[in-house]
């Protein structure tokens, strides 16, 4: 009798030990989804088990977040830009004010003609924009905000380059990168890879740097003079860029900045999100979406002239 009682006692003792162990494991398992999601292994284990689990979860999460962000930030700053952090503001749909600048080639020395801007002047102009708090956006971003409203920087600017010259890649891209800016290039798709023009690889590099690549038609024909070629010119170049970049949304810049109502309607019908024309205004709306006013920066435009264009101040006679 005595022996069997002791035996029962031993068995009961073992059973309670086993149960306690199971319960502990169950609790530990139940704790894991709440604390373990951030990938934190050590903090969840240390204080362990029942009452502590409720308290320990809270300090473990905030301790993780700052350490993650602090590791990301330093690696970003040197590569992207020294610009101040962007303050986005909401723009209602309809009208948006943004200077759209037009360049063609950047020249290493002195500008040879009006379609060139010297690298020195270009640097000064980009410095002016950065120092005055301008931030670059793309025509696609502008089109979306005009149509639906949305957030843009407080002082947006669009920097476009027509034709797709090689100097944009060699000279403009590094300057824009130094300032934390992204540009826009309107490519004559039939000239891609020709001497003094960018090749398809260089275009994909620009695209990877956040640039927008748009169409400047296949062979730079005057679309107003040759409206029967407009389909081939606008659709051919669109398909080329869609295939090259894997994008569906594109904007077009009309050769010579020339488009009439027939051409702007076709641009919309062929699926472009907006069309670039020429003009003297920085204000854009739904009515001008397919003939956005761009202002050309010519070789003789000094910093005062540049400032007047960007700020929209009227030029005195
Ligand atoms: Zn052109």
CB of 161 within 8 A of CB of 213?
Answer: no
Confidence of residue 86 (pLDDT cuts 50, 70, 90): confident
Residues 115 and 161 both lie in one domain: yes
Report pLDDT digits (tens) over 187-242. 999 999 999 999 999 999 999 999 999 999 999 999 999 999 999 999 999 999 99
Q: Do the bridges between strand 212-215 and strand 184-187 make them parallel or antiparallel, or are there none, so unpaired?
A: parallel
Q: Residue 24 falls within a domain, yes or no?
A: yes
What does each C-alpha distance from 40 to 11, 37, 47, 61, 302 come to in angstroms?
Answer: 39, 7, 13, 8, 58
Q: Residue 83 falls within a domain, yes or no?
A: no
How many domains would you assign to the chain? 2
Distance 162 CA to ligand 1 centre (A): 5
- Give pLDDT, residue 222: 97
Q: How far apart are CA 136 and CA 183, in angstroms?
A: 7
Distance 199 CA to ligand 1 centre (A): 17
Distance 156 CA to ligand 1 centre (A): 24
Q: How far apart are CA 233 and CA 238, in angstroms?
A: 9
Which residues on adjacent β-strands are paired with residue 51?
none
> For residue 47, which of 66, 23, 28 has the smallest C-alpha distance?
28
Residues 42 and 123 both lie in one domain: no
pTM of the model: 0.73
- Give pLDDT, residue 223: 98
Residues 137 and 278 both lie in one domain: yes
Q: How far apart are CA 241 and CA 214, in angstroms?
A: 8
Q: How far apart are CA 221 and CA 236, in angstroms?
A: 13
Distance 206 CA to ligand 1 centre (A): 19
Q: Residue 317 falls within a domain, yes or no?
A: no
Determine the structural domain holding residue 31 and report its residue range.
Answer: 2-78
Report pLDDT digits (tens) over 87-143. 899 999 999 999 999 999 999 988 888 899 999 999 999 999 999 999 999 999 999
Residues 197 and 265 both lie in one domain: yes
Residues 63 and 114 both lie in one domain: no
Cα angle vertex 129, ends 124, 132, to 5°? 120
């Amino acid at each position: 009798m005595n022996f069997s009682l002791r035996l029962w006692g031993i068995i009961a003792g073992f059973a309670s030990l086993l149960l306690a162990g199971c319960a502990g494991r169950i609790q530990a398992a139940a704790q894991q989804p709440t604390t373990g999601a951030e990938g934190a292994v050590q903090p969840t284990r240390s204080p362990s088990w029942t009452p502590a689990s409720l308290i320990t979860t809270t300090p473990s999460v905030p301790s993780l977040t700052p350490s993650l962000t602090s590791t990301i930030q330093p690696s970003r700053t040197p590569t992207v830009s020294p610009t101040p952090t962007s303050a986005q503001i909401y723009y209602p749909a309809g009208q948006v004010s943004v200077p759209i600048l037009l360049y063609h080639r950047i020249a290493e020395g002195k500008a040879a003609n009006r379609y060139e801007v010297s690298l020195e002047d270009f640097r000064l102009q980009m410095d002016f924009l950065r120092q005055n708090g301008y931030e670059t956006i793309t025509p696609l971003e502008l089109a979306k905000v005009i149509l639906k409203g949305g957030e843009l920087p407080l002082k947006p600017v669009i920097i476009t380059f027509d034709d797709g010259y090689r100097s944009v890649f060699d000279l403009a891209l590094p300057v824009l990168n130094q300032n934390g800016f992204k540009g826009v290039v309107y490519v004559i798709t039939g000239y891609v890879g020709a001497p003094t023009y960018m090749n398809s690889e260089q275009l994909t590099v620009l695209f990877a740097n956040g640039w927008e690549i748009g169409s400047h038609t296949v062979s730079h024909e005057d679309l107003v003079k040759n409206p029967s070629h407009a389909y081939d010119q606008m659709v051919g170049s669109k398909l080329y860029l869609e295939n090259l970049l894997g994008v569906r949304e594109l904007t077009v810049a009309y050769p010579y900045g020339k488009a009439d109502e027939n051409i702007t309607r076709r641009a919309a019908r062929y699926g472009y999100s907006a069309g670039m024309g020429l003009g003297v205004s920085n204000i854009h709306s739904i009515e001008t979406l397919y003939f956005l006013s761009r202002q050309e920066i010519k070789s003789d435009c000094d910093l005062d002239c540049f400032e007047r264009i960007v700020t929209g101040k009227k030029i005195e006679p």
